[in-house]
Copies of this chain bind each other. A is one copy, B any other.
Amino acid sequence: MLKLYYAPGTCALATHIALEEADASYEAMRLDFATQGQRTAEYLAVNPKGRVPALVTDQGILTETPALLVFVAQSFPAAELAPLSNPFQLAQLQEFNSYLCATVHVAHAHGRRGTRWVDDAGAVEAMKRKVPATMTECYELIERKMLKGPWVMGERYTICDPYLFTISTWLEGDGVDTGKLPRVVEHRQRMLTRPAVKKAVAEEGTQLP
């Protein structure tokens, strides 16, 4: 059986929701970041990067959200979470998820984990100050150009939706004025009507804005 390692408030929620949408059999394994649960020898043996999510499968351990989301879609094709046999459409999904992973999540991380990239305390504070602007810029692009509606890719719900939802729950905490992002906010609310989202959010105790 699959085992998903997650911590509340992290991007692992996206994979957690996808597993629920796919009706997968899995066990959710909670780590506590407050007590550095991701840095124990036991967990570093699972994921040497010391991060979540990590998915233990019968064939080995997988990490990185964009990889896990396609893995879930491909392992549970009946759920139709991605247009797997259409190279262009699949690339559009992956393009969106890559943007979330490498640009949006990274912009957010500068408010929490600045010491990844600097040793200087003043520079850490300088990073925190810019997070509202960088996250706003990312989300204005999502609002205007990327989110087709009602779901990210249009009429079909896909693996992009739980990932966008997860990062969208961080917006108010990052100082973003969500009043200027009506379509993103509507997407977030629409997600919360789905049973799979409700279940994963309840299990993690996700703090919703």
Contacts and interface: CB of A to CB of B under 8 A. Distances in A.
Number of copies: 2
Interface residues of A, number: 48
B66 A88 contact: no
A202 B186 CA distance: 49
A70 interface: yes
A116 B130 CA distance: 9
Interface stretch (A32-40, A96-104, A165-173): A96-104
Interface stretch (A118-126, A148-156, A175-183): A118-126
A63 B92 CA distance: 8
Interface of A: 48-49, 57, 59-60, 62-68, 70-71, 74-75, 87-88, 90-95, 97-99, 101-103, 105-107, 110, 116-120, 122-123, 126-127, 129-130, 134, 141, 145
8 contacts: A57-B88, A62-B88, A62-B95, A66-B94, A68-B91, A71-B87, A71-B88, A75-B87
